[in-house]
Amino acid sequence: MQSSTVSTPEPALAQPAPVRRLLSLDALRGFDMFWIIGGEEIFHVLAKTTGWAWAIFMADQFTHVDWNGFRPYDCIFPLFLFLAGVSTPYSLGSRLERGDDRGAMVRKIITRGLVLVLLGIIYNNGLFTKSLDEMRFPSVLARIGLAGMFAQLIYVYVRNERARYAVFAGILLGYWALLMLVPVPGFGAGNLTMEGSLVGYIDRLVMPGRLYKVVHDPEGLLSTLPAIATGLLGVFAGTVLRHKNISDARKLRQLALAGVTCVALGWVWNLVLPVNKNLWTSSFVLVAGGWSLIALSLFYWIIDMMNWRWWTFFFVVIGMNSILIYLAGEVINFEYASHYLFGGLLHIFSKPVQAIGAVLGFLAVKWLFLYFLYKKKVFMRV
């Protein structure tokens, strides 16, 4: 990992920078990160302070379901992993076509994935911990690092596009078979509860340290397998977008149709395999991946086809340093900085306005921090 000053901005993703940037990709990544870094609090505070029905509804949509089911907020994490996959054909495709050393590429891919695992451990536990038992090893960054790494390795070694689709289908079907057919001591086979699922059992059996939910970890070991398929969906989308012999209109149709198809198939599969983010079920991969494809289609149409770009800068600034802003909250007290800058001004307003203003001030400080780095052309590359 390094922070560097460069002449051309490069994306903060778990892979090398694409040769030709898609503004829609940076904007969508920034839009996704906006909610991760605290954007959802706008609706939660509005709901709490006003009681408005629409604000309560929106606040509910920006929460995770307890177990089975799906809300828009459940798509935030898989969308980020999907977008990492979209960049892969741009970052690796031209190098493969030039005949660059594949071994060197693979070493960089693996190193990058392992660095993200290490950063995730530090993010969870800090630099100093009392004992191994108190540490949490699974993390969001580890899921991105490992799933993205294997998706990229599949892209490098499986050069036939149909074979990649076969790998994708094999992962989803194989994971379904594991969940339904492998018995868990004391619970039997096909148990999809938090305590009785094969996912939780594997976490308790092999993962050192503590688990996020004691008996289960949503970023655990076995559920990383279907997350690879989420990354591969992004690879498929990136392959379509990078194709030189397909018109923009046809690319848009293919992405949108694929998205609608995935969502429909995922909900049909839900009849026998519940859509579940914690288990990252195969049906969840399709539903979340389908909505990711639809979101990418929309951003691609608006930004890269219609050229309506005036509104994108706010999100691009966030998307260009996505990993950095995710980590920065652990070492920079943005809330204190926001209170220092805006607290006195907000004090003259009513309590609801103060609450909304505090959230907006917190987000403004984070964005200004990223804008400063953007203007200095400083980007974190992992």
pLDDT digits (tens, 9 = 90+) for 86-122: 999 998 988 888 888 889 999 999 999 999 999 999 8
**238 falls in which pLDDT band (50, 70, 90)?**
very high
User: CA 25 to CA 300: how far, in whole Å?
Assistant: 8
DSSP structure class, residue 99: T
What pLDDT, on the 0 to 100 scale, is given for residue 164? 96
Is there a contact between 91 and 19 (Cβ–Cβ < 8 Å)? yes
Nearest to 152 by CA among 100, 90, 221, 80: 90
pLDDT band (50, 70, 90) for residue 1 = very low
pLDDT at 11: 39
pTM of the model: 0.89
156: buried, middle or exposed (CB in 10 Å: 19+, 13-18, 0-12)? middle
Is residue 345 pLDDT above 90, yes or no?
A: no
Between 2 and 318, residue with greater pLDDT = 318
Question: What was the pLDDT predicted at 263?
Answer: 98
First to last CA, the chain: 5
What is the reported pLDDT for 52?
87
Note down the domain range covering 110: 2-381
pLDDT at 344: 59
Q: What is the mean pLDDT of the chain?
A: 89
Query: 333 or 113: which carries more pLDDT confidence?
Result: 113
pLDDT of res. 14: 40
A 10 A CB-CB count for 171 gives: 22
How many domains, the chain? 1
pLDDT in tens, 121-146: 988 887 776 678 888 999 999 999 99
3-state secondary structure (DSSP) of residue 366: helix
Helix (H, G, I), strand (E, B) or coil at 5: strand
Q: What pLDDT is recorded for position 339?
A: 77
Report the run of H or E that residue 160 belongs to, with start and end: none
Helices (H), the chain: 23-34, 41-50, 53-61, 76-98, 102-125, 140-157, 161-181, 198-206, 224-242, 248-269, 282-299, 313-319, 322-328, 334-346, 351-375
Q: Is the pLDDT of residue 367 over 90?
A: yes
Res. 348: pLDDT tops 80? no
Q: Is the pLDDT of residue 347 over 80?
A: no
Mean pLDDT across 263-291: 97
Indicate if the pLDDT at residue 307 is higher than 60. yes
pLDDT-derived band of residue 2, with 50, 70 and 90 as boundaries? Answer: very low
Q: Could you give the CA distance from residue 218 to residue 78 in angstroms, rounded to a whole number?
A: 12
Closest residue by Cα to residue 140 from 111, 120, 126, 125: 120
CA atoms 78, 39, 219, 57: torsion sign: negative
Q: Give the separation between CA 273 and CA 262, rounded to whole angstroms.
A: 15
pLDDT digits (tens, 9 = 90+) for 17-49: 334 568 999 999 999 999 999 999 999 998 988
Q: Does pLDDT of 186 surpass 80?
A: yes
- The fraction of the chain above a pLDDT of 70, given in percent, is 92
**Alpha-carbon dihedral angle through residues 238, 244, 245, 248, given to the nearest 10 degrees:** 60
Q: What was the pLDDT predicted at 13?
A: 40
> Residue 337 has what pLDDT?
81
Distance between CA 64 and CA 72 in Å, rounded? 8
pLDDT digits (tens, 9 = 90+) for 47-98: 988 888 998 999 999 999 999 999 999 999 999 999 999 999 998 988 888 8
Q: Is the pLDDT of residue 379 over 50?
A: yes
- Least confident window among 99-103, 292-296, 343-347: 343-347
For residue 343, the model assigns a pLDDT of 64
Decide which of 173 and 354 is more confident.
Answer: 173
Amino acid at 293: L
| Mean pLDDT value of segment 275-296 | 97
